[in-house]
Amino acid sequence: MYDQAYKKAKANWNSRVNQGEAGTLLSLDGVVHRESILTEVSIGTIDIPIDKIVGTYSHSRAISFSNNFMPLMKPNSEFGAKWSSLYTSHITEGLREPIKVYEYLNYFYVVEGNKRVSVLKFVGATSYQAQVTRLVPKQDEHDKINMIYYEFIYFYRETKINTIWFNEIGKFPMLLNLINQYIDKYQYNEDQYKLFIANLYRPFRQIYKAQGGDRLNITTGEAFLDYIKINGLNEEITEAEDEKSIKAFIEELKSINKQQPNVETKPIIASKKKNILSTMSGLMSSKKPLKIAFVYAKTPDTSGWAYSHELGRLHINNIFKNQIETFKIENVPENHNASKIFRQLANENFDIVFTTSPTFVTPALKIAMEYPDVKFFNCATTYSYKSLTLYFGRIHEPKYILGMIAGVMTKNNIIGYVAPYPISEVISSLNAFTLGVKSVNPTAIVKTLWTHRWDHTEQSKDIDSKLIQLGVDIISNEDLPIAGDMSKYYGIYSVDPITNEKKHYAMTVWNWGLFYEKVIKNILNGTWKSLYENVSSDEKPRNFWLGMDTGIVDIFYSNRNINPQLKNLINCVKNGIISKEFDIFRGPIYNQEGQLKINIGETCDYDKIINMDWLVQGIEGTLPDASTLAPNDPFSYMLNIIKRG
């Protein structure tokens, strides 16, 4: 067997050297500078993952092995004889004596037992006992790996789990929270952390690797965390129950990791030509109307957001009449329980399901992967998914114009802004609004308060009162009114500090009917798939991010309360945005701390806008940390679902 191990060593050595890399094993003394180490901590004798053993202690031992830990010494050497003897012992009796290692940044370097490790790697062992000494580096908040490692140290101290790793900050605390939820849910008292690994992570990893997931450019831990976010905490993962869903999940990961987001920003083509070869599988027959579901988190009577989508549903009913059947499903929970309703709709043979809230993105993605013949759409602005089509509007465009109106109408140059969640469309809208204010009134400031609630009229009124106490005379509040609601706690309005009387100036408008009409028209004509869907596994998935040029987002202003000069300015800016002659986020733009975030002449693309995590100059107020929001809050839980930047 030594001859085979030796051949593997030479092949690995030659491959790496030909690529200009070191062919021999890593050595700890070549990786770590002693002055960078804060302390050494004895961990004791524990099981360590074999694939985490990446090197040896000293350079003198490193040259005996190739980079994959296979032996480089000739087969007839004393080294070769000892290696062969260890191999025979492992096959006949099993190796039992622990090795000694240093652990640094969750990788292991062998002090004693290099040949044992080489044999173990050759036979494909997964773990082995080791006496571990941890080298703790000095903390450096500017070093990403260092920060992740300190999160790992805390995670390990709580769980004694060392088989999972992440490449992004914040993932270890998130996983610990999930593990604790799992323990509470299933009331495990003994070896609870081991049970989590045995019941969930280890079987997931086995299926994931068998399906080729380990070839993706993310850690298995990151894939596992995203899978649990989408599919929820079940008591166990098994091949029989979960192989299909893990395989579909890997296809999503492949699509996302190999491509940048494929964003459609132009008006949808309303094709009139029927393309029989490109009809969506299972959707159409000449006699069967399309069966379409609209899913609302609230009701059109209590939510301006649901009301705007309900108008869209009624619009397509009027346009397509007996060619379609639409149904509305109200008060759907904004958590994983929504997936039960989505699955029911799929089982009831709905052709198309529009899930109309960003809080539905996770359960919608889960069911869309399970039912590829049902066309799922989700109203949200995140990255593209293969199984789920996302659609949203560039609401920051009309928000900029609302900011201009507020900047002109304010008398004391203090403007209030009611913001719900610190998610991308809210942050970019707040920034755009403030830039609009500053474009016409450089001395004005925008005071921002956060509700941490979505579409909540009573809380909006409460925040409104707080802003008045802070001295504002113009307020930007909820985007959309509820049908028949005359309270005017939406759009932008002035507030009389004495009488509390409000004067309404303008508000943003969502015309979802325009989007739904063109989607349905293309599906009925059989051209949707050829125009807007990935027709092969190699093509990027697509999502829609549509602006004022499509009419899906717009503004409505008061003819009585807006003077002719301001109307003219509004129309000029609107036309500039529609014609692409004016870009809202063109630099120079500075953040609150005065740092230049967008250079002179530079503009922001989709990726930069949806990843905004900073506020522009002119805003008074802090940006909440989404990770501190309550765990049952759907936004804090569902942020960054398989999102790769």
Say if residue 281's pLDDT is above 50: no
Residue 276: pLDDT band (50, 70, 90) is very low
Residue 214: pLDDT band (50, 70, 90) is confident
pLDDT of 412 reads: 94
Average pLDDT over residues 339-361: 94
- Residue 238 C-alpha from the chain's centroid: 26
Residue 644: pLDDT band (50, 70, 90) is very low
Say if residue 466's pLDDT is above 80: yes
Say if residue 452's pLDDT is above 50: yes
pLDDT of 284 reads: 46
Amino acid identity at 109: Y
Under 8 Å between Cβ of 342 and 367:
yes
Q: Which residue has the tokens 């301001």?
A: 566
pLDDT of 453 reads: 73
pLDDT of 56 reads: 95
**Closest alpha carbon to 633 in 457, 448, 451, 378:** 451
Give the chain's domains with CATH numbers: 1-138 (3.90.1530.10), 143-258 (no CATH), 276-393+513-549 (3.40.50.2300), 396-508+551-625 (3.40.50.2300)
pLDDT of 273 reads: 54
pLDDT of 530 reads: 62
pLDDT of 540 reads: 59
Q: What phi and psi, each to the nearest 5 degrees, are found at residue 180?
A: -65, -35
Say if residue 354's pLDDT is above 80: yes
pLDDT of 422 reads: 82
Say if residue 215's pLDDT is above 60: yes
pLDDT of 229 reads: 85
Q: What phi and psi, each to the nearest 5 degrees, are found at residue 535?
A: -90, -5
Output the CA angle 458-447-560, nearest 5 degrees. 70
Q: What is the pLDDT of residues 416-432, one digit of tens each?
A: 999 988 888 899 999 99
Mean pLDDT of the chain: 87
Say if residue 612's pLDDT is above 80: yes
Say if residue 161's pLDDT is above 50: yes
Average pLDDT over residues 164-170: 91
**Closest alpha carbon to 72 in 112, 21, 14:** 14
Average pLDDT over residues 173-202: 87
Max avg pLDDT among 210-214, 397-401, 626-630: 397-401
C-beta atoms surrounding 150 within 10 Å: 18
Under 8 Å between Cβ of 13 and 66:
yes
